[in-house]
A and B are shown apart, each in its own frame.
Chain A
């Protein structure tokens, strides 16, 4: 089906597997599940560091919290950088 198209353009409404709602929901569900499992591992002594270097490492879900919060902060705060340094795409073309 796909090779019938030229090397470029066309199509658009032929849905692939990743576009289906079922896949997206399934992906999110699996992601939430494994994330919860990873967080739960933090409570099992076998998965804890014997001699932590820092106090925060003693919090069983420290890495989960830190990863979640920092990622969200990077995206939510970082995008405002665009207001400072963002210019038109042809910015340098016009100046060089």
Chain B
């Protein structure tokens, strides 16, 4: 038995609980004091972060539940690097939307990161499940925040998919418990020692795969994220998919299938991003592509690469989202056809966007360069030639949609005639810190490398070896040259306003039609069954009436007749009691 006081001490030692309490307390402030919410949240992020490092590596928060021991708080090297970057991202997002006054959105923008942090720090599967669901529920408030019909529908679709992932996770946990008798969140693997696929592993992989947006399961990202508010999209873009990456790295390191799932993930978003006009959606495809690199790294067993790239991606993809959102904040649009020429009046935002773009493209001197190389080298070291080629191809694709398309169509390209003011100070501050991290860690990656899950493996890795620089410079500069020549010779396709169908079409159009048809058929069947039933009851009543009614045979001697009827009723009741009693 766990006493109440020890339960409370276990809970409040958990950085995720500290963040969640901070979010809840801030939400209690009345709207007239809304300006105090975000400063208070920053204080709680500081408390939570210092608690994470004060605890140090180890397992804490042991609880016992129905005889099962739970480890609600585990800080090991893999968890710590994710927890650290989650704190940085949460703080940057709070600052970015400093003047946001909406209560639900403000609450969600810290409660949701808190839940993702809780999942990362969970040492057992039950704790993971609880935070997994809290993350789903708190994040949907960000999708709903704009309050329109389109965002409501999208939020419902999002919630249904997130809850499906949670249900699968619970099923996976039950299967694992039956198989092993353990609830520990550790390496699970897809196959048993004989090489056969384990059902428990498969179900769990699917649960994580939905949140990581595996191919064909990816489209909730593009459907829900761009419909959120200016700052809500940025918060959303970070946590759910990275919690899934962490979970995959924890449970399925070196699972070969993940190499190929990851490769497909890096591939197909490139083409959807190329033709997409809404630049926020382009960045959502970029999330799929970037998570693909991480999933591939996990499959290769390059956990340093996966964790390091997740750290980097959260910073530079966040920076791209922030820069684009700042432009959207000032102009009201994120469509390539309606933007362009913005560099004239938002030069600082443009510079920070370019830093993010260089970083995601992995130019030497950036955070992307010092982390992505770990993954591509991982494929080379295992002599997987086609995987290696595919990752290089995907790198050219990243350069196309995230490195060039985002800054080019937002700030340059054709002049939209829009002359918005520069971004407000708080957006600039969050972007500046991100940009400094991109370049600072890019030039001096040692602190990040020291934080890696397996620091010993980093000893042999030298990102700035001469051949690394030459290879990457060739790949990227010649790709940029290809872009420049395509533009000069007018071969680069113009952006056109359009909706591009993706897998969400299946459930939004034919799925909807089938559901409607099924609802109609169910209605007709129900009416039919109901009529059958009422007809029978009518017939039954009229029979009794015929026998026992004023005209019936038993009515000739009513008192005897009713006694006969009641005897029959009592006999029936006695028989029923004797049988069931």
Contacts and interface: CB of A to CB of B under 8 A. Distances in A.
Contact of A2 (B344, B388, B393, B478): B344
Interface string A69-88: 11110111011011001111
Interface residues of B, number: 65
A15 B78 CA distance: 51
Interface string B20-55: 000000000000000000000000000000000000
B500 A75 contact: no
A76 B491 contact: yes
Contacts of A28: 484, 488
A75 B274 contact: yes
A32 B498 CA distance: 34
3 smallest beta-carbon distances between A and B, as pairs: A63-B474, A71-B479, A67-B475
Nearest to A38: B473
Given A8-B420, A85-B500, A95-B508, A68 B275 contact: no
Contacts of B509: 95
B419 A5 contact: yes
Interface of A: 2-3, 5-12, 14, 16, 18-19, 27-28, 31-32, 34-35, 38-39, 41-42, 46-49, 53-54, 61-72, 74-76, 78-79, 81-82, 85-93, 95-96
Contact of A67 (B388, B417, B421, B482): B482
A72 B106 CA distance: 43
Nearest to B149: A96
Contacts of A64: 474-475, 477-478
20 contacts: A2-B345, A8-B331, A9-B419, A11-B344, A16-B343, A27-B484, A31-B484, A34-B473, A35-B477, A35-B481, A53-B383, A67-B474, A70-B479, A75-B493, A79-B274, A79-B493, A81-B272, A81-B274, A81-B500, A91-B501
Contacts of B508: 92, 95-96
Contacts of B388: 53-54
Interface string B478-514: 1111111010100111001111111000001100100
Interface of B: 150, 153, 270-272, 274-275, 330-331, 341, 343-345, 380-381, 383, 385, 388-389, 392-393, 396-397, 399-400, 412, 415, 417-421, 466-467, 469-484, 486, 488, 491-493, 496-502, 508-509, 512
A11 B478 contact: no
Nearest to A12: B417
A42 B417 contact: no
A9 B474 contact: no
B499 A63 contact: no
Nearest to A96: B153
B474 A74 contact: no
Given A81-B274, A86-B498, A95-B512, 4 more contacts: A31-B484, A61-B474, A75-B274, A76-B491
Majority SS at the chain B contact face: helix
Contact of B498 (A7, A89, A93): A89
Given A74-B397, A75-B491, A16 B477 contact: no
B419 A74 contact: no
Contact of A47 (B343, B400, B467): B467
Contacts of B498: 82, 86-89
Counting chain A CB atoms within 10 Å of each CB, the highest count among B383, B417, B470, B496 belongs to B470
A49 B473 CA distance: 15
Contacts of A63: 392, 470-472, 474-475, 478
A7 B482 contact: no
B480 A54 contact: no
Contact of B482 (A61, A71, A88): A71
Nearest to B466: A47
A95 B506 CA distance: 13
A41 B466 CA distance: 9
B492 A48 contact: no
